[in-house]
Amino acid sequence: MQPMETISTVAGLRARVREWKQAGARVGVVPTMGALHAGHLSLVQAARARMDRGITTVFVNPIQFDNADDLATYPRTLAEDGRMLARSGVDVLYAPTAAEMYPPGFATRITVAGVSTGLCGGSRPGHFDGVATVVCKLFMQTLADCAFFGEKDFQQVQVIRRMVADLNLPIEIVSCPTMREADGLALSSRNRRLTAAQRQTAVALPRVLAACAQDIAAGTGVAAALSGAADHLAAAGFDSVDYVELRAETDLRPLATLLPGTPARLLAAAWLGDVRLIDGMPVPPRG
């Protein structure tokens, strides 16, 4: 295994990728904002299994934060991230500066309508414009053949799929299952900001969603099941609930009932103090 290289400029990255492509290699990218955990590493492994060369990007993207405190407190652990990625067999860690990504005069935003409205798009205005813009730039900079994303950020994956289809971007999107702690909490970089007491409460999120998914699959009315789930989260100690919704997996349209042949997913976001957690689960078809 060759040692991992860290690159921070578009020109340096392009030169390395050009060499790989001239040698016929297929290139995979795992875009991240760092503070890496086992969920990210599972994406790195998925990329390694399918591709000849792997890039992981670490960039805390300022334009996708709708809240200055959230941006300021987002965990930044680049040295540790680099050690984890080197051990995982990544070829290149691409860690551009904000000035490299957004030089003076930068004035472009990508807006993906439809799938980015409501859910996290409703509670975080402008968030998905920032995500789509940076992800498009990362695709153009890495010229990767395939990109790997976690299903925990389910709406994000649908926004990126829509953008790739609409803009004819020559890249395949692979989504990978959510990785969880032993007690069910979805792995997230934000989990490290939870206090011990909040961490205990956090496990209610996957538990309440799993129970709600089962209830809907067993025939409980969707509206009643969703408002019951929000109540259970509040009773468990969540400070507020942004949403608990049932959506069609492919286009994220709201579902008032399960429909035959339409895969459905329960999606939720809720706050513990100033930490916002999200999670989602497929709802099995009725019967």
Q: Is 32 in the site for ligand PAF (CB under 6 A)?
A: yes
d(CA 179, CA 253): 25
CB 269 within 8 A of CB 119: yes
Q: Which of 56, 61, 178, 191 binds ligand PAF (CB under 6 A)?
A: 61
d(CA 47, CA 54): 7
Q: Which residue spans within 14-77 are E strands per DSSP?
A: 27-32, 53-58
Catalytic positions, written as ranges: 40
Closest to 25 measured CA to CA, from 138, 144, 136, 140:
144
DSSP bridge partners of 277: 270
- For ligand PAF, give the closer residue by CB, 62 or 118: 62
- For ligand PAF, give the closer residue by CB, 19 or 166: 166
35: three-class secondary structure by DSSP: coil
At closest approach, how far in Å is the CB of 58 from ligand PAF? 9
The alpha carbon of residue 209 and the mean position of all alpha carbons in its chain are separated, in whole angstroms, by: 18
Looking at residues 146 to 165 of the shown chain, list those that interact with ligand PAF (rule: CB under 6 A): 153, 156
- For ligand PAF, give the closer residue by CB, 88 or 156: 156
Q: Is 64 in the site for ligand PAF (CB under 6 A)?
A: yes
Q: Is 91 in the site for ligand PAF (CB under 6 A)?
A: no
Q: Is 142 in the site for ligand PAF (CB under 6 A)?
A: no
Length of the chain counted residue by residue? 287
Structure tokens at 84: 């984890």
Q: Which of 31, 39, 54, 206 binds ligand PAF (CB under 6 A)?
A: 31
- For ligand PAF, give the closer residue by CB, 74 or 243: 74
Gyration radius of the chain's alpha carbons: 19
Do the strands 27-32 and 275-283 form a parallel or antiparallel pair, or are they unpaired? unpaired
Q: Is 279 in the site for ligand PAF (CB under 6 A)?
A: no
Q: Is 144 in the site for ligand PAF (CB under 6 A)?
A: no
Q: Is 135 in the site for ligand PAF (CB under 6 A)?
A: yes
Q: Is 134 in the site for ligand PAF (CB under 6 A)?
A: yes
Q: Which of 131, 147, 187, 277 binds ligand PAF (CB under 6 A)?
A: 131
Q: Which residue spans within the chain are E strands per DSSP?
A: 5-7, 27-32, 53-58, 92-94, 146-150, 172-176, 240-248, 264-272, 275-283
Q: Is 33 in the site for ligand PAF (CB under 6 A)?
A: yes
The conformation of residue 254, written as its DSSP 8-state character, comes to B
- For ligand PAF, give the closer residue by CB, 61 or 88: 61
At closest approach, how far in Å is the CB of 137 from ligand PAF? 10
Taking CB under 6 A as the binding criterion, the range among 129-137, 176-184, 236-244, 277-285 that sits at the site for ligand PAF is 129-137
Phi-psi region for residue 6, left (φ > 0), alpha (ψ -120 to 50) or beta? beta
Judged by the rule CB under 6 A, the positions of this chain that interact with ligand PAF are 31-33, 61, 64, 131, 134-135, 153, 156
